Structure 1
Amino acid sequence: MAKEQGLPPGIVLNRAGKYGVLKKIPKALWGHPSYKGKSKIIERSTGTTDRAAGLKAAMRMLADLEAEFDQARDELAAALRPRLVTSMSDDEMDAFVDYLELDLADVENTQACFPGGDVPPEWRLPEPGEAVAWHAKRRRMILAPALEAMLKSRLVERLTERAEEINYKSFHDEVRAVAEPAASPHAMQPQRRRHTLAELIERFKADPGRGADLGNYQPIFPLLYDVLGESKAVSAITHDDLDRVRDVLVHLPPYATDPARNPQWKGKDRVQIAADVKMRIAEGEKIRLLIIGAVNKYLTSISTLFGYARDKGMIAASPVPVRDYKIVRERQAEDKVEREDFPEEKLKAIFPKDFAENMTDVKWALAIALCQGFRGVEAAQLHVADIVQEDGIPCFRVDVDVLNGDGTTTKTDKTTKTEATKRLVPIHPKLIELGFLRHVEARKKAGEILVFDTTKYAGGNHYDGIRDDITAYLKACGAYSERIHVYHSLRHNWATAARNAGVPDEVADALGGWGSMGKSKGRKGKAKNGGDTARSRYGRHAKPAVLRRWLARIKYPMLEI
C-alpha cells in the first residue's frame, strides 16, 4: 500500500488504487490472544477506488479498530485484576498450599518478599498468615477472612504434620530446612509430599516466567501423561521411564491423535499408536513418522520441564540422561525424497497477475525465494539493518550479526548454514519494483527490528514462525506436494533460472549462498568437490555492481507479476 498526499493518518492507497487502512497494533496488546503470534500491522481494504466512499469506509474501519483495541485493553486489564475468593474445595485448598510450599522453598522469592532479620542472613521467616497473604497476592486473589484463616491452618498442619505439637517454632524449623537444607546438616529433613507429574505440569504452565514460549511445550504434556500417567510421582520418574517416552515419540506419525487426519487410530492413546506403528513397519508397511528435528525439539522441551522441576525443589536431580537423549539416526527412505522445481503451472498459481496486491509477510518471503534464491530461514530472519547500501546499490547482508551505524557489529539470534552462506548480494530489481524497499522503510519507521513478523521458538529458527502460513498459502494455490514441492523448491527454480540465463557457476554460488567450502552439499547439478576453489572465491568477492548485472538476468518469462 502507498501513502497518497492529503490522506488522514492510517489511510492508504494500494497498488490497485483502492483505499484501505494500515494500522499498527499497540505493543501493549501484542500478548492478547487476538494478536499473539500474528502480524503486528493490520492491513484492510475498502474494495473501492472512489475517494469519497473509500475515505468514509476507511474512517469507519479505523474507528472499529480503535474500539477493538479498547476492548482488548479492557480484557487484558480484567485478566490482571485480583479476584475475590470466598470459598475453596478441599482439593483447591490442597493445591493452594502445594504451590505455597514450593514458593517458600524458593529462597530468592522469600528473600524478595520478606527482607530483614538474620535467620538466615538477609531475610526473615514469615508467619503462616503472612505467607498465605503473600501467596494469594501472587495468584491475584483476594481471600475472604474465613478462607484465609482456613488456609493458614492447613499450611501449619502441612509443615508440622510430623511434630507432636503444632507451634510457630516448628513451622520456622520446617521452612528453614526446606529453604536452606545445607545450613543445618544434622537437622531432620522434612519428608515432603511427593509431587505428581500433573502438579509439575500445571505449575510449569502457570509460571509467569514461561511467557510466549509456552506453546512450544504443549505437545509434550499429553505425551508424558499417556506414557507415564498423570499421577506418577515426579521423584519416581527414572531414565528408563524417559527412554520409554522417547521410544513412543520416535514411532509417532504427525498428528497421530487427530481422527480427521489419522482415523485408523481414532480413540487410541500415543502408546497404543506407537505400538501399532511398530507392528506395521515390521510387516513392511511404510509409515511417515515425525521428522528428527521435531522429535529432538520435543525431547529438548522434556529436558527443560524436568530441569524446571529440579530448580523449583520438586526433585533433587533431573531424570533426563545427560547424554544421548536426542535422536541421531539415518533418515527413513521416505525422508530422502528429492525436492523439485515448481513446474510452470504451479509457479503461475503461486505468483498470479494480482500477486502484488496486499503484500503480506508470506508473499514477500515467496518473492525473495523466487528472485534471490534465499533459504527459508535466510528470508524469515532478516533484520531491517540487513538491508544496506553498498556502492549505491541496495543489498541484502546475510550474516549472523547486524551492522551498526558506527561500523561495528552486534550479534543476534540469526543463524547461517555454512560460512559460504554469509554474503552481501544485490536486491533483485523485481523485488524493488514490488515495493520491498518501501516495506523495509515502513518497518524501520515503525521501530521494528525484523523485516517480517516472525518469532524464533526454542530449539528452532525464525522460519518456524512463518512455515505454516507459507505451507497454507501453497496448499491454497494447489502448488504444494509434501516434501517435493515446498517453499525450498523455489530455490531450485532460482538455480534453474540462473543456469538458463547463463549465469556463471561461481556467480550463482555467491548469489545463492552455495560454496565449495568444507563439505557443502552444493546446489543441484553442481560438483561436490570439497575444496575452496578460485572460482568460488571469485564469486564471493565480486563487487555488487558485477553481481547485480548477472542477478538482473534471472527472470521468469512465464510470470506476469
Structure 2
Amino acid sequence: MGHNDALGAAINHENRAESRPQLWVTNVGHKRSIRGLYRRGSIYQFRVRVPVELREVIGSSHVKRSLRTDSLSLAVRLSRKVASEVETAFEEARRERGLVKAVGRIADGLVSQTTAITISARCESDVGRSAGPTLSEVYERYLEDPTKRRSDRTMLAHHTTRRVIEDIFGQEKLVTEITREDCRNLLETLRWLPVNVGKKFGAISIRNAASLAKADARIRTINATNLNAYMARFATMLNWAVAEEYIGRNPARGLQIAEPVHPQDRRKPFELWQLRRVFTAPIYTGCRDDQHGYATPGDVVAKGARYWVPLIALWSGMRLNEICQLDVADVRTIEGVLCFAVTSKSLAGTRDKTLKTKSSERLVPVHPSLLDLGLSAFVSDQRKNGTIKLFDDLPAGARGFRSVAFSRWFSRFLVSANAAAAKTCFHSFRHGFRDAARNARIDRDIALRLGGWIAGGTQSESADDYGSGYRPQILYDAISVIEYPELDLSHLLKRPR
C-alpha cells in the first residue's frame, strides 16, 4: 500500500478481549501495520484504547497523544516508544487499581494525583524528548555535512543567517514545530531588520531591534535583496532537513518579498562625470598622505591599493575581492601575455583566497592602459620587497576578506570626491566594463569569460565543460579594444614612477 493510501486506510476492528489493551491500527505503508499511529493534517498522532477495567481510574476510554512530527520514519520510532510506556503504565494501574481514584482525565491534560498523572507525564515527557532535534542541532548538522561543498563566503553567509534565525526562533525550538505562520512572522521581522544590527544595537534581540526600526523611520533597514537572501538560505537548510527526514515539508518554501527594483536597475555603471571626479581626486593628483589625508590636496603621490584597485577594476571588470586578494604571483606572464590569474589557489601556499562561483576562476589579461600607467613596475617592486600579497597594505579583516575594509573606505572616498550618486558603488566599475565590452563589440562568449559571469555561452551548454578555454592572446586582443573614449587619464601618465 502506498504512503498516501495507507494514511487514509480504515482502522482495523478492535479486538474486544479485555484481558489486555488493544491498540488502534493504521496501515502506514512499507508493508507493515503501525499500531495506534495515524495522521491528523500533517502531524502524526498516537492513540490507544484504555482497557475497560482501567477506564474509571484513567477517566477516559482512550489515550491520545500528538507525536509532534510530520516525518513518517520518526513517527514510527516515537509510536513504538510511547506504546511501550503506555503499556507499562497500564500494568502499574492494574496493580494499584482500587488504591487510587481518578481526579482528572488524560484526554483533557488535567493535572491529578492518580495513576493518570503517571501515564500522562510519561507519554508527554517521552514525546517531548524524542520529537526530533532542535533548530540549533539541525543547523549544526547541516553546516557540518561533509557531502556539501561551500566556499568560505557562503559559509560566512550561512553562519550570519543562523545567528539571526536562532535569535528569532530560539535555539531550542524543535524543528518539527516550525510552522508556515512562524516563517511568515520571520519574513515580517526581517522586513524591519536594521543594517549592521549587531554593531548598532549590541546585545538587543532581533525582534526588539526590528520593533525599534519599525517605529523610527530614521533607522535604515536591509533591502529586499538581502532580506530574500536570508529567507533563501533558511529555506535551503530546511530543504536539507526534509531530505534527511527531520521534517516532512519545508514551511519556508517560496517565502520572499517582491523586489521593488528590477535586478538590472539595482546597480548602474558610473557616469562619465563620476569617473572624472574619481580619477582627479587628490589621491590620484597629489594628497597630504594616502591614509587619513587622502582627500586633502598635497604633494604625496599615492601608491598601493587605494591607487591601483579602482584602476584595475575600470580596465578589467574584476570583482572587488578578486582584486584585493591577489598575490604578487597571481600577476604573471602566460604564453607571452601578462595576466591576472583569478584563482583560489596560491603559488605561495596561502589559503586566504575565495571565489564567488566556479566560473570566477579565469585569466584576465592586463589591459594596455594599465601597462602604460606603470602596473608592471608596481608588481616588480612588490616582488622585490618579498611581499606575498599584491596589496599588502590591505588588512585581512576579521572575516578574512580584504575587500571589506576597502569597500567601506571607497564609499567614503566617493563622498569626499563629490562622486557619490544613487545606485552606484564600487561594483559599478564592473557594470561599466560590461557596457564597454558591448560597445567594443567583443564576442559575447569572450566578454563573459573575461568577467567570470558564466563558463561561456550558457550554463546549460555541456560543450562549455570541454577544453581549457581561450588562449591568453585571444583574450588580450579582446580586452585591448575596451576603452572609455571621453575619459582622459593622461595626467596619470605624468606621475613619478
| TM-score greater than 0.5 by the shorter chain | no
Q: Which has the larger radius of gyration?
A: 2
Report the TM-score when normalising by structure 2. 0.45
Report the TM-score when normalising by structure 1. 0.41
